[in-house]
Amino acid sequence: MSEILVAEEQVIGVVVDGDQQIEVIESAVQIIEQAAVIESGPQGRPGMDSVDFMIEASMAIGGQRVIATDEQGMAVYADNLTRYKTVIGISTGAAIQGAVVTVKPFGRLEDSSWNWNPGKGLFLDQNGVVVQDAPSAGAIVPLGFVVTPTRIFISIGSRIERE
């Protein structure tokens, strides 16, 4: 048997801007059939879902906040109202100014204090805050989606500027 891949698009949210609606679409590839395994080799090393960055914080940084870098390459909060800040990921913990903060650019992130609504998308708001509904002002920055109330999957999308 051979492997058949099917790409599916799924609407993970709808953003309303005045009388215009913008659908936020997530593409997924599903494996329909898997090849038959005749022989298997030794178990490989476990995979990783992303490689985290370690960046010096230019200010006190809270955990689970969206991070960008300033002109010196130091970690700051990303913001949907400031055009020059490019999102690089979400902080996995807090850091004081001058310390190193760990930033996850892609993949699973869990926090037992979260209570997200599964199946919905995630977006950037002001001051690095992650929200489930696209903000009514500023750019729309898709960050990923909610897997369970305490687990998200980071998949940063392109910034959509409003006119």
Task: Note the pLDDT tens digit of each residue in 69-92.
Answer: 998 999 999 999 886 568 999 999
**pLDDT for the residue numbered 161:** 87
Residue 93 lies in a domain: yes
pLDDT of residue 102: 95
In a domain, 26, yes or no: yes
Which comes out higher in pLDDT, residue 21 or 143? 143
Asked if residue 122 has pLDDT above 70, the reply is yes
Q: How many domains does the chain have?
A: 1
Please report which helix (H) or strand (E) contains residue 143, including its range: strand 142-148
**Six-digit token string for 55:** 């960046």
Tokens of 32: 């329909």
Residue 111, token pair as written in the block: 């926090």
- Residue 161 domain flag: no
Whether 62 is in a domain gets the answer: yes
Q: For all residues of the chain together, what is the average pLDDT?
A: 80
Domain that holds residue 99: 4-36+51-155
DSSP reduced 3-state for 57: strand
Residue 43 lies in a domain: no
111 found inside a domain: yes
Contact 123, 152 (CB under 8 A): no
Q: How many angstroms separate the CA atoms of 90 and 111, rounded? A: 12
For the segment 142-160, what is each residue's pLDDT rounded down to a tens digit? 999 999 999 999 999 998 8
Whole-angstrom distance, CA of residue 20 vs CA of residue 16 = 6
How far apart are alpha carbons 141 and 157 in whole angstroms?
Answer: 6
Burial class (CB in 10 A: 0-12, 13-18, 19+), 42: exposed
Q: Look at residue 43 in the predicted model and tell me its pLDDT.
A: 66
pLDDT higher at 84 or 136? 136
Whether 92 is covered by a domain: the verdict is yes
Q: Is 163 contained in some domain?
A: no
Residue 120 pLDDT exceeds 60: yes
- pLDDT computed for residue 35 by the predictor: 42
- Residue 103 — pLDDT band, cuts 50, 70, 90? very high
Judged against a pLDDT cut of 80, whether residue 132 lies above it is answered with yes
Measured distance CA(38)–CA(130) in Å, rounded:
46
